[in-house]
């Protein structure tokens, strides 16, 4: 392989890799659906045009059949009146219209076949579009789920279970310390209260206030 061919392959590989990275799955499904919608629109326009041409040929066939019938009557009437020249002229026009009618019918048959084909293609496009529309909803749901799972894993990567456990252990130690301080404070308070109630001065004050209450009574 030549140098330029190898370089071309490397560039194409890098380009495809870049495209893969830039392609958003949801945006791409929307783009595919838009392309299908455009194809359906074109198919509908072609089918509508086909209907118009087909209708014209139907009218043309009907008009030609009427002309053939008319020339046939004219030829018969001319023969009855012994007007041979007029009869020949009418028959000539009748034969010419019959050839035209055969051509019109062939063309109408071809048009009808194309119309049928367009109908089938449009039907297939519509079925494919509906199927992919449902598939898109499934892909969107799956993409959102994958993104959510990725976000969770990213969070767990930055804040691993071990680190969370260590953090909770530190918080528990701090709470233990606060509880110990509260217990020590309660103990000091209770001991101070007990010591105060047992002191002679405290008891004398109690007796004095009791005597005052009795004197008032």
What are the tens digits of pLDDT across the range 19-64? Answer: 455 567 788 888 888 988 998 999 999 999 999 999 999 999 999 9
Which pair of structure tokens corresponds to residue 137?
A: 């909803």
Question: What is the reported pTM?
Answer: 0.54
Query: Roughly what angle, to the nearest 10 degrees, separates helices 200-216 and 161-198?
Result: 60
Q: Within a 13 Å sphere around the CA of 1, how many CA atoms are in the beta-carbon half?
A: 7
**Residue 72 and residue 84: Cα distance in Å, rounded?**
14
pLDDT beneath 70, residues of the chain = 1-23, 155-164, 189, 191-203, 205-207, 210, 212-214, 216-217
What does the DSSP assignment read for 114-152?
HHHHHHHHHHHHHHHHHHHHHHHHHHHHHHHHHHHHHHH
pLDDT of residue 93: 93
């Amino acid at each position: 392989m030549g140098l330029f061919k190898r370089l071309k392959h490397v560039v194409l590989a890098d380009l495809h890799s870049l495209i893969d990275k830039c392609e958003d799955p949801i945006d791409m499904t929307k783009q595919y659906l838009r392309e299908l919608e455009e194809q359906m629109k074109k198919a509908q326009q072609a089918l509508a045009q086909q209907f118009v041409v087909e209708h014209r040929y139907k009218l043309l066939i009907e008009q030609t059949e009427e002309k053939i019938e008319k020339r046939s009557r004219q030829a018969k009437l001319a023969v009855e009146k012994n007007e041979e020249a007029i009869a020949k002229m009418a028959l000539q026009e009748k034969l010419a219209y019959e050839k035209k009618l055969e051509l019109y019918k062939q063309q109408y048959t071809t048009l009808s076949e194309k119309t049928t084909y367009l109908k089938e293609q449009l039907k297939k496009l519509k079925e494919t579009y509906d199927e992919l529309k449902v598939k898109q909803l499934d892909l969107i749901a799956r993409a959102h789920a994958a993104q959510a799972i990725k976000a969770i894993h990213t969070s767990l990567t930055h804040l691993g279970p071990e680190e969370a456990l260590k953090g909770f252990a530190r918080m528990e130690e701090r709470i233990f310390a606060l509880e110990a301080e509260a217990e020590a404070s309660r103990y000091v308070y209770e001991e101070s209260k007990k010591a105060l109630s047992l002191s002679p001065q405290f008891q004398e004050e109690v007796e004095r206030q009791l005597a005052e209450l009795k004197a008032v009574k």
